[in-house]
């Protein structure tokens, strides 16, 4: 392999998945300093990849329109290696038709025949972290156990907008700031919204912490319910922030408390303390999807592990209700370096 080769990293799923794939770009740059790294992503995750200094270019799945245009673009780009961090039949076939010389992916899918360098690991058992599964795809390139690094550069204009927004809401720059993110996009069981509301009241009235709530447009109904239940003057920012602005807000905050969701991983990448609220379903388990490098920043219900959620048969459903507000406050006292006392 020559150092000037172009790499295509395929990750066409969600925000957290893309963030947890970016250490692959860093490892490639460290191993092949002259290489050019491109990400293939969905349109709504493009913005966060734009903030990564190891990424030289971005292809957006929705912009191709059809298979013919996608194939034409892959051929024009002349990639030397495609790494399928999120395996998908469409892109496996297209990379083969485009004649990309090295196509690295899992060996356990029917369409793995289109990969000529295969890694045999079952991710669904969730025995390792997603970051580690991603980095294991570099083994065929001779890269073994690279260092995990999250490198994001938030643009100044995003930081300035957040500072102005907080100032307009009367947030003192020296006042502790905690973000609550009560949604998860349906990727896992959520902590009940009424407990998020109780937590917000405790943080504000008992600990004098300023609280911000974030979320996406589709979570409006959930967050409306949160504000119906809370009594504290909480700053509401759901549906108002770009991903870059969310990154700037997370960097400004002392702590994020969230379900298993992309902003949790973005907070870790920003260097912000987190508390992750996780269900015991094995495919959603924090062993794979927890905040990377922060195993003590996870709260789970005191029930046994399960393979999938079956509400009609489960004696613990909804098990997330077994996580008390007291449990989360106790974790906050441990994790946010004394701002809650």
Contacts of 150 (CB under 8 A, 6+ apart): 19, 22, 23, 268, 269, 292
Spans of the chain, pLDDT less than 70: 1-4, 335-341
Domains 6-141 and 156-335 are alike in CATH topology = yes
Nearest to 56, CA basis, from 11, 6, 1, 118: 6
For position 117, what pLDDT does the model report?
Answer: 96
Give the pLDDT confidence score for residue 1 in this predicted structure. 47
d(CA 337, CA 340): 8
pLDDT for res 174 = 83
pTM summary value: 0.94
Q: And the tokens for 143?
A: 């890269």
Q: Where are the chain's structural domains? A: 6-141, 156-335
d(CA 152, CA 52): 5
- Confidence (pLDDT) at 337: 55
- Residue 173 is predicted with a pLDDT of 85
CATH class of 156-335: alpha beta
Q: Is 51 helix (H, G, I), strand (E, B) or coil?
A: coil
> Exposed (0-12), middle (13-18) or buried (19+): which is 164, by Cβ within 10 Å?
exposed
Can you say whether the dihedral through the CA atoms of 160, 164, 166, 171 is positive or negative? positive
What class has domain 6-141? alpha beta
- For helices 243-252 and 156-168, give the axis angle rounded to 10 degrees: 60
CA distance 205 to 5: 57
For 271-294, how does the pLDDT look when each residue is reduced to its tens digit (9 = 90+)? Answer: 999 999 999 988 899 999 999 999
């Amino acid at each position: 392999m020559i150092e000037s080769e172009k790499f295509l990293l395929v990750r066409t799923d969600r925000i957290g998945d893309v963030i947890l794939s970016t250490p692959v770009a860093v490892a490639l740059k460290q191993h092949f300093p002259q290489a050019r790294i491109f990400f293939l992503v969905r349109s709504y995750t493009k913005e966060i990849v734009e903030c990564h200094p190891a990424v030289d270019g971005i292809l957006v799945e929705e912009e191709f329109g059809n298979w013919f245009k996608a194939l034409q673009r892959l051929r024009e780009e002349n990639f030397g290696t495609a790494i399928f961090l999120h395996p998908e039949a469409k892109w496996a076939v297209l990379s083969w038709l485009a004649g990309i010389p090295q196509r690295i992916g899992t060996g356990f899918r029917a369409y793995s025949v289109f990969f000529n360098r295969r890694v045999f690991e079952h991710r669904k058992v969730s025995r390792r972290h997603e970051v580690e599964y991603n980095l294991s795809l570099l083994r065929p390139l001779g890269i073994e156990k690279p260092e995990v690094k999250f490198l994001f550069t938030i643009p100044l204009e995003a930081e300035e907008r957040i500072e102005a927004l907080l100032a307009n809401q009367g947030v003192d720059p020296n006042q502790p700031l905690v973000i609550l993110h009560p949604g998860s996009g349906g990727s896992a069981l959520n902590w009940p919204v009424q407990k998020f509301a109780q937590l917000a009241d405790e943080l504000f009235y008992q600990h004098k912490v300023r609280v911000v709530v974030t979320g996406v447009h589709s979570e409006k109904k959930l967050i409306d319910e949160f504000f119906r239940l809370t009594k504290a003057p909480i700053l509401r920012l759901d549906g108002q922030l770009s991903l870059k602005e969310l990154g700037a807000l997370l960097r400004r905050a002392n702590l994020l408390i969230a379900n298993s969701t992309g902003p949790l991983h973005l907070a870790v990448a920003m260097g912000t303390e987190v508390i992750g609220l996780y269900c015991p379903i094995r495919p959603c388990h924090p062993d794979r999807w927890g905040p990377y490098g922060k195993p003590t920043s996870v709260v789970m219900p005191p029930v046994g592990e399960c393979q999938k959620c079956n509400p009609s048969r489960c004696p613990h459903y909804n098990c997330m209700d077994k996580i008390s507000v007291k449990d989360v406050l106790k974790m906050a006292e441990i994790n946010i370096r004394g701002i809650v006392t």
